[in-house]
């Protein structure tokens, strides 16, 4: 499986430079608004990277090539989910670090501290999106994916205003209204969704002609 | 001993189907898989490799079941295909870096030797390669991990006749070791006329025969003669028949019978595989 | 040993090969104990199927002209030396008969022929 993950990086090598660029662009767009859900930068960056990776797979007819090598379809799906997790985790951490540095360097902006809630939300929302996206990827053909990618870009763009309204409403009410129990429950739900998504994607991919 | 055992494989598409094919590919020999375009050869091979899922039937390769044991099987299989799905923007060296780690028996020395022999530069990008060079690269890879089974799907369609001959020599070298097996699917049958040991002929999704090549060429005959020799009964004996104003030429699958029938009134010739493919594909019922 | 096959010939390829190897052995070009190329090597050299060369060697074995040892290869048989010698004698006799006929056309007597032969024997000293 490590080989497959490494393959993703070799293949995307030339475009890997774009990712920090995206990160910076997203950050500039979102950080100016202190009420905004800055943590969405992590979601955007992680998901854009994933779309680059699936895009490369489709463009190169990767699956038909990979399956001729000593691996099975389960491994291909597993590695893709693993890289999605990787992107999510790295993006979430990078986001936190970047935000904290900016806050430290420019106290005049009066940015509130990056909360644990935001950090978890960045991971949670990414995982939910991935859980819906990847089974579609393993089910649809080239043409289908083009449509799906557009649909998800629209969803991503719509996330920012959606989150803005959401966090505004939360601040208007009791900020501490979300207690630990609900967070844990939501977290568990997200993890279960991710795992279920993996098995579903495996099932879909197993039956597909490449 | 069979390198590949196909049992009752079927697959339906809207335009055509592979219909209940069973065949064995014998270990230690070169088997040519021939048939006109669209006959189902590629689909059959794709099902062997796990690219396409059959609607029915089973496949065993090198003694193990596909697809449950596909990882172990594919360690020992080398594949050269007309659809080379390599990453176009990578260099040959990088592409090898992607592929080699998957194989436990990767032999870097052998690979470099083949790259030299085929005159391939490792720094060239895949998109800069001609069709022929891509095939050569695929071959270098396929031969560098101690594969016992080499599956080649239309490997020569883009190649010039010079390299095609060199390829046949290369394959003969590989077959010096009797543990190796080659399955060579092509519609350019002249490549197989000489070196193939067995021939499997697929036409319209069905298996016409899978037999020793020498026996096939002995059994079939091309008959050439004058119009006056034909009547309804005799026409029925032909697998395919081409009549013109100056005579007829046709294929029969029983040479001895044709010799008795026509005697010295007609010319009997040994057919080429192309003749057999042509006449069978053009006319007559399928020999099951 | 040279083997030249013609794809245009009437005879099946394996017959051509059998004939040429047989001739090579009977004419003494190949001696008892000489090794023959392996089945696969021969197939590669002639660019024919391995099954063809297998049949060739099977046929030659049936005629007791060669012996195959598993793991070692195939060798010209020593066991059939008598038969081989007989064959060569036959060929020689045919040549002798031809000499006699030819000499008659040239009006040579039996004595003339024998004297001529003696002269030639002296010239043809083994080198």
pLDDT, tens digit, for every residue of B35-54?
988 888 889 999 999 889 99
Mark whether B16 and B147 lie in a shared domain. yes
- Which residues from chain B sit within 8 angstroms of residue C49, using beta carbons? 30, 194-197, 213-214
pLDDT, tens digit, for every residue of C49-64?
999 999 999 999 888 8
Pick the closest to residue A95 from A137, A44, A162 (CA basis): A44
Mark whether B108 and B241 lie in a shared domain. no
Handedness of CA B195, B200, B204, B205 (dihedral sign): negative
Could you tell me the residue range of the domain that residue A129 belongs to?
A: 2-206
Could you tell me the residue range of the domain that residue B264 belongs to?
A: 221-270
Residue B21 has a pLDDT of 93
**Given a cut of 50, is residue B111 above it in pLDDT?**
yes
Residue A34 has a pLDDT of 53
**Domain count for chain A:** 1
Question: For B194, which of C12, C41, C47 is closest by C-beta distance?
Answer: C47
How would you classify the pairing of strands B77-81 and B149-153?
A: parallel
**B and C: number of Cβ contacts within 8 A:** 41
B70/A72 touch (CB, cutoff 8 Å), yes or no: yes
A67/B99 touch (CB, cutoff 8 Å), yes or no: no
State how far residue B94 is from chain C, nearest Cα, in angstroms: 35
- Which residues from chain C sit within 8 angstroms of residue B268, using beta carbons? none
Angle at A71 between CA A82 and CA B75, to 5 degrees: 145
Contact status of B94 with chain A (Cβ, < 8 Å): yes
**Given a cut of 80, is residue B2 above it in pLDDT?**
yes
- Which residues from chain A sit within 8 angstroms of residue B102, using beta carbons? 3, 69-71
Using an 8 Å Cβ cutoff, are B18 and B29 in contact? Answer: no
- Which residues from chain B sit within 8 angstroms of residue A69, using beta carbons? 74, 99, 102-103
pLDDT, tens digit, for every residue of C100-126?
999 999 898 989 999 999 998 888 766
- Residues in CB range of A46: below 8 A, 6 or more apart: A84, A87, A88, A90, A91, A92, A126
C44/B169 touch (CB, cutoff 8 Å), yes or no: yes
Mark whether B262 and B120 lie in a shared domain. no
DSSP 3-state assignment of B20? strand
Contact status of B28 with chain A (Cβ, < 8 Å): no
Pick the closest to residue A198 from A51, A82, A72 (CA basis): A82
Contact status of B71 with chain A (Cβ, < 8 Å): yes
In chain A, whose CA is at the least distance from the CA of B71? A70
State how far residue B212 is from chain C, nearest Cα, in angstroms: 8
- Residues in CB range of B82: below 8 A, 6 or more apart: B135, B153, B154, B155, B157, B158
Within-domain flag for B85: yes
Mark whether B81 and B172 lie in a shared domain. yes
Residue C125 has a pLDDT of 64
Mark whether B108 and B212 lie in a shared domain. yes
Q: How much of chain A exceeds pLDDT 70, in percent?
A: 90
Within-domain flag for B59: yes
What is the distance between the alpha carbons of residues A205 and A66, in angstroms, rounded to a whole number? 13
Within-domain flag for B150: yes
Mark whether B65 and B17 lie in a shared domain. yes
Within-domain flag for B282: no
pLDDT, tens digit, for every residue of C74-102?
888 876 667 767 877 888 899 899 999 99
**Domain count for chain B:** 2
In tens digits, chain A (210 residues) has pLDDT values of: 778 888 777 777 777 778 888 888 877 777 665 556 678 888 888 999 999 889 888 887 888 888 889 988 999 999 999 999 999 999 999 888 888 888 888 777 767 777 777 888 889 999 999 999 999 999 987 888 888 988 998 888 888 777 777 766 666 665 555 677 888 888 899 999 999 999 999 999 998 888
Angle at A37 between CA A36 and CA A42, to 5 degrees: 135
pLDDT, tens digit, for every residue of C23-42?
888 777 888 888 899 999 99
- Which residues from chain A sit within 8 angstroms of residue B49, using beta carbons? 67-68
Binned at pLDDT 50, 70 and 90, residue B24 comes out as very high
The reply to whether ipTM tops 0.85 is no
Within-domain flag for B234: yes
């Amino acid at each position: 499986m490590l080989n497959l993950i490494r393959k993703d990086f070799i293949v995307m090598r030339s475009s890997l430079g774009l990712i920090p660029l995206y990160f910076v662009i997203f950050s500039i767009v979102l950080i100016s608004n202190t009420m905004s859900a800055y943590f969405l930068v992590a979601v955007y960056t992680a998901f854009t990277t994933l779309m680059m990776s699936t895009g490369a797979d489709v463009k190169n007819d990767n699956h038909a090539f990979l399956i001729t090598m000593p691996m099975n379809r389960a491994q291909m799906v597993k590695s893709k989910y693993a890289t999605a997790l990787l992107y999510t985790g790295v993006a979430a951490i990078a986001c936190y670090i970047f935000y904290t540095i900016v806050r430290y360097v420019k106290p005049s902006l009066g940015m509130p501290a990056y909360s644990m809630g935001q950090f978890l939300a960045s991971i949670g929302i990414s995982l939910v999106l991935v859980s819906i996206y990847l089974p579609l990827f393993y089910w649809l053909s080239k043409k289908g994916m083009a449509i799906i990618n557009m649909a998800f870009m629209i969803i991503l763009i719509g996330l920012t205003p959606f989150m803005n309204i959401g966090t505004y409403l939360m601040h208007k009410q009791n900020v501490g209204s979300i207690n630990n129990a609900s967070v844990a429950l939501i977290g568990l739900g997200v993890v279960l969704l991710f795992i279920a998504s993996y098995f579903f994607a495996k099932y879909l991919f197993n039956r597909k002609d490449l | 001993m069979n390198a590949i055992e196909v049992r009752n494989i079927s697959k339906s598409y809207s335009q055509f189907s592979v219909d209940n094919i069973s065949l064995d590919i014998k270990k230690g020999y070169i088997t040519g898989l021939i048939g006109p375009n669209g006959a189902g050869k590629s689909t059959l091979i794709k099902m062997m490799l796990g690219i396409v899922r059959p609607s029915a039937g089973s496949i065993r390769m090198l003694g193990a079941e596909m697809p449950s044991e596909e990882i172990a099987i594919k360690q020992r299989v080398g594949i050269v295909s007309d659809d080379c799905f390599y990453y176009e923007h990578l260099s040959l060296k990088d592409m090898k870096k992607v592929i080699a780690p998957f194989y436990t028996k990767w032999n870097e020395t052998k690979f470099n030797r083949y790259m030299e022999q085929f005159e391939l530069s490792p720094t060239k990008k895949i998109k800069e390669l001609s069709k022929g060079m891509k095939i050569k690269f695929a071959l270098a890879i396929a031969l560098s991990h101690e594969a016992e089974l080499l599956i080649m799907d239309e490997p020569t369609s883009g190649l010039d006749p010079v390299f095609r001959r060199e390829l046949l020599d290369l394959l003969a070298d590989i077959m010096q070791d009797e543990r190796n097996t080659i399955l060579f699917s092509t519609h350019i049958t002249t490549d197989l006329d000489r070196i193939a040991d067995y021939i499997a002929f697929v036409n319209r999704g069905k298996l016409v025969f899978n037999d020793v090549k020498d026996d096939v060429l002995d059994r079939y005959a091309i008959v050439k003669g004058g119009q006056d020799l034909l009547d309804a009964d005799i026409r029925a004996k032909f697998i395919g028949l081409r009549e013109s104003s100056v005579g007829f030429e046709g294929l029969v699958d029983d040479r001895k019978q044709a010799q008795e029938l026509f005697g010295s009134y007609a010319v009997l010739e040994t057919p080429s595989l192309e003749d057999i493919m042509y006449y069978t594909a053009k006319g007559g019922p399928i020999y099951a | 040993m040279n083997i030249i096959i013609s794809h245009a010939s009437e005879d099946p390829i394996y017959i051509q090969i059998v004939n040429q190897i047989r001739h090579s052995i009977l004419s003494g070009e190949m001696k008892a104990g000489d090794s023959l190329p392996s089945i696969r090597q021969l197939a590669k050299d002639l660019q024919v199927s391995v099954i063809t060369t297998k049949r060739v060697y099977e046929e030659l074995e049936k005629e007791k002209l060669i012996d195959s040892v598993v793991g070692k290869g195939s060798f010209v048989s020593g066991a059939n030396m008598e038969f081989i010698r007989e064959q060569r004698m036959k060929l020689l006799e045919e040549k002798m008969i031809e000499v006699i006929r030819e000499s008659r056309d040239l009006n040579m007597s039996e004595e003339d022929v024998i004297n001529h032969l003696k002269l030639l024997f002296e010239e043809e000293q083994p080198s």
